[in-house]
Amino acid sequence: MIEIDGFRVLIDPVWEQRASPFQFMGPKRFFQPTLELAELPRVDVVLISHDHYDHLGAETVRRLTRVPGTAGARWVTSLGVGRRLEGFGVPAERIAELDWTESVEVGGLKLTAWPSRHFSGRGVLDRFKTLWGAFVIEGPRHRVYYGADSGWWEGFGEIAAQYDGFDLTMLEIGAFNELWASIHLGPDNAVRAFEAMGSCADGERKRAGLMMPIHWGLFNLALHAWRQPIARVLELAEEKGIPLWLPEPGVPTEVVAGVELRSDWWRAVK
């Protein structure tokens, strides 16, 4: 949940126990949701980056259509995913589908879809039938880059060059493997992407703000130990001087320009 300039954006909500079409098997959560859906405050936008099970929970969406917090929310998603949301009970008139480089405004908040290197689908026959992507969330005073899922590509710097910096840059570090480098960043390429977003081709420095490592520590989606991605990012951050923002799940935490936060909440989770 991002609160930005008076707006609340709920990103890729999954309250299910497993990131799977079946709740009796598949990748399981490491810890329980920190907030009940019925306790959500008013949400202005529900943002769904793509339709993979660890980013789009079908039962979560069904429940969100019935809770007070999202009663007036606009649903923003990638091209083609709207049909899935409608199937889960979201009214069509509340859905905005975006192709890459397209934007939608919700009140004074602007959301823009950008390319990422990934794929889509929820079964063996529907791969690439819907779009996926990263998103930039812009309020009147602040700006956030949400990278969702992506492998490394040169576009990170090109996207950043379209903006006068970010306050927070959210990049995935977990669920990675060398064989998946074309679709997932992992720690080393996430840091590489952050560095690319902090400079332009002409050498002029631009702000990438604070780096928030995401897509780790929740679902058992890969063969690596669940703490490995964040441990590696911490090593790289020390080596390269990367400013990190690592809040504790469920604890409201303010992003302050230039001020790092490195909570170690995961060390105590068994």
pLDDT at 202 over 80: no
Pairing of strands 74-78, 95-98: parallel
Domain annotation covers residue 52: yes
User: How many residues appear in the chain?
Assistant: 270
| Global pTM value | 0.95
Query: Helices marked H in 54-127 — which ranges?
Result: 58-64, 82-87
Percent of the chain clearing pLDDT 70 (strictly above): 97
Q: What are phi and psi for residue 18, nearest 5 degrees?
A: -135, 140
pLDDT digits (tens, 9 = 90+) for 157-191: 999 999 999 999 999 999 898 888 899 999 999 99
Q: Domain end: 72, 107, 142, which one? A: 107
The answer to whether residues 27 and 95 belong to one domain is yes
Are 68 and 159 within one domain? no
Mean pLDDT of all residues in 208-232: 92
Residue 268's pLDDT band (cuts 50, 70, 90)? confident
* Residue 142 covered by a domain: no
Q: What is the CATH number for 10?
A: 3.60.15.10
Mean pLDDT of 51-59: 96
Q: Is 139 a residue whose pLDDT tops 50?
A: yes
Q: How high is the pLDDT of residue 223?
A: 86
Residue with tokens 């790092």: 260
User: What integer is the mean pLDDT of 103-109?
Assistant: 97
Which pLDDT does position 24 carry in this prediction?
Answer: 81
Out of 53, 79, 107, a domain closes at 107
pLDDT of residue 189: 97
Residue type, 268: A
State yes or no: pLDDT of 201 exceeds 50: no
Asked if pLDDT for residue 253 goes beyond 70, the answer is yes
User: Which amino acid, 104?
Assistant: V
So what's the pLDDT on residue 26? 82
Check whether 204 has a pLDDT greater than 80.
no
Say yes or no: 3 and 92 in one domain. yes
> Which pLDDT band, with edges at 50, 70 and 90, does 82 fall under?
very high
Provide the domain limits for residue 39.
Answer: 1-107
Are 170 and 135 spatial neighbours (Cβ–Cβ below 8 Å)? Answer: no
Mean pLDDT of the chain: 93
**125 inside domain:** no
Residue corresponding to tokens 């080393």: 188
Q: Residue 207: is its pLDDT beyond 70? A: yes
Reply yes or no on whether the pLDDT at 260 is more than 60. Answer: yes
143-146/168-172 β-pairing: parallel
At which of 75, 107, 139 does a domain end?
107
For residue 206, the model assigns a pLDDT of 61
pLDDT at 197 over 50: yes
Give yes or no: residues 98 and 184 share one domain. no
54 to each of 98, 146, 156, 190, how far by Cα in Å?
20, 15, 23, 19
> Which residues in the chain belong to E strands, given as ranges?
2-4, 7-11, 45-48, 74-78, 95-98, 103-106, 109-114, 134-138, 143-146, 168-172, 210-214, 245-246, 261-262
Please report whether residue 140 resides in a domain. no
The answer to whether residue 136 sits within a structural domain is no
Domain count, the chain: 2
- Assess whether pLDDT exceeds 50 at residue 110: yes
